[in-house]
Amino acid sequence: MSSMLGVLRSQIPHVPHRFLSSRPVRVVRVSHVLPYRATNTSTAVLKLSFFDLLYVTMAPVQNVLFYKGPSLPPFPSIVNSLQSSLATTLAAFPPLSGKLMTQDDGPSSREVVIDCSPGAVSPGVKFVEAEYRGGAVDGMRRLAGDEEHDAEVFALLVPEVGPAGQLPAPVLAVQVTRPAAGDGTVAVGVSMHHSACDGRSFWRFMSAWATAAREPGHHLVQPIFDREQVIRDPRVQQLTRKSKQRFATNAPVDAFRFPPADMARQRRRTFWLGAGEIQSLKQRLCRQGSGIIVEPLSTFVAVSSLVWTSIVRAKSTMDHADDDCYFLLSADIRRRLRPPVDENYFGNCVMGCLARATVADLSRDGDDGLVCAASAIQRAIREDLEDPMANLEHRLALRHGLPADRVTVMGSSNQFRPFETDFGWGAPSRVEMVSMTVMEEVVLRGAPDGGVQVSVALGRTHMEAMTSNFRQDGVHIRQGELSACKGLLKTLHGVIVWG
């Protein structure tokens, strides 16, 4: 055990054997990793901002990364490397070793904070070692490349940080899983409390951790965590004070109140768009939408338009042609606050943009429906982000009243590069967000060679029609295992889909 860890306590969880044997993932060992060295923090308690408080009651940000191939070292070496580099990384990210908790802030105010005191940090970050026992010898390799998501198993590949909204709770937990039989595949699962990070911050941590593992001794730049020092827009500060008063009365403060996903009624599938196909899609949209679409057209808007129209057409009939449908996306507003937020800031700093269109508009023939979708998304981004704090409480109240079955939630961004998370064994073969918590959700990720990964969660009865709509919109879809997809991306201008 590396002395770098300072203290690393291990234990075998006391779980009945009959329960363990019935689960495809069995926990083998639970350890706790402490920061490599004591770090100087400006305060033992990190106060959260309004943007953080929106996510206190929501599920954590959970991602699983699959690695496979001959470059993988033996599992004990993987565990040792991940633990040692995690200890190094936590020294630069001290709040991630702490705990989320509430504390009184006056007679009528209660706030949620990250406790970074020695007592909160001393247990360390939970590090779970597990085995996948499902399927045949190559079961985990197939899990990493199957056409359809096995969402129930994916949920067992990320560690728990406690029930959503229940405090106190750890900020971070890590899990590494290997196949019980065979070798050559490993899954790294990470859970981070959403009130501590947005997507940009999450992948910044992952990049730093991977760098520490791949390049021992590399100096990691510590982000800025102090919300009060960085987020100085007076309107944000006012909303933070109001949120504390709401917590004092146990009133919820959340980003949106959609019902949780019913896993029995949901399917998940991942699409890959190659760089050539994306460029072709942009050209089609700009040609058909001349004078309507603002150029240059971003990859995010082009891909989002394709997914949104495909979903709406799969779900709707012309009997509901006049119904409104909505596309809810989260946009980074660090540079849009006044004064702007430092680029080195670690925490939540996103705000929702809501696009609206009718079923009839998105169901127009040819590329006309795509143009309507792209125009609506561009308009929402332009209007909602011109001044993201303007009438914010009113906009949040309107969002709470939206019919959940007509809202497509977009999470993450193609600007994130999770496939660059190389711990020294090469790039991951597959990366998935496990915490897709609503019935209808889309996650965009930057993919190799300029492509985009699109993961879709949708009602079971609509997934096949949604895929068919991709084809009908002129997108060539190839099915197959992810390992084959990544090789094809280098030579094909097309979309590759799991499922």
Q: Structural domains in the chain? A: 3-248 (3.30.559.10), 263-497 (3.30.559.10)
For residues 147 and 498, the answer to whether their CB atoms sit within 8 Å is yes
Please, which residues have CB within 8 angstroms of residue 258's CB and are 6 or more apart in sequence?
404, 407, 409, 438, 439
Q: What is the mean pLDDT of residues 345-357?
A: 96
Please give the share of the chain, as a percent, with pLDDT higher than 90. 68
> 221 and 92 in contact (C-beta within 8 Å)?
yes
* Stated pTM of the model: 0.90
For residue 454 the two structure tokens come to 């699109």
Task: Kindly report the three-state secondary structure assignment for every residue of 386-443.
Answer: HCCCCCHHHHHHHHHCCCHHHEEEEECCCCCCHHHCCCCCCCCCEEEECCCCCCCEEE
**107-111, 214-218, 410-414: the lowest-pLDDT one:** 107-111
pLDDT for 8 beyond 80: no
pLDDT exceeds cutoff 70 at 489: no
Distance CA 451, CA 477 (A): 14
Q: How confident is the model at residue 243 (pLDDT cuts 50, 70, 90)?
A: confident
- Whether residue 1 has pLDDT greater than 50: no
Give the confidence band of 476 by pLDDT, cuts at 50, 70, 90: very low
pLDDT band at 3 (very low <50, low <70, confident <90, very high): very low
SS3 431: strand
Q: How long is the chain?
A: 499
Q: What confidence category does residue 359 fall into, taking pLDDT thresholds of 50, 70 and 90?
A: very high
Percent of the chain with pLDDT over 70: 85
Inform me whether the pLDDT recorded for 76 exceeds 90: yes
374: pLDDT confidence band, cut at 50, 70 and 90? very high
Residue 248 binned pLDDT confidence (cut-offs 50, 70, 90) = low
The strand ranges marked E within 161-263 are 169-170, 172-179, 185-192
Using DSSP's 3-state secondary structure scheme, residue 44 falls into coil
Closest to 134 in 3D by CA, of 18, 28, 23: 23
- The mean predicted confidence, pLDDT, of the chain is 86
Q: Which of 2-11, 125-134, 277-286, 344-353 has the lowest mean pLDDT?
A: 2-11
User: Distances from the Cα of 416 to the Cαs of 51, 301, 347, in angstroms?
Assistant: 20, 15, 16
User: Mean of the pLDDT values across residues 480-484?
Assistant: 36
Q: Tokens for 72, please give them.
A: 């993988």
Going by C-alpha positions, the residue among 211, 255, 244 that lies closest to residue 93 is 211
Distance CA 58, CA 41 (A): 27
Contact 196, 161 (CB under 8 A): no
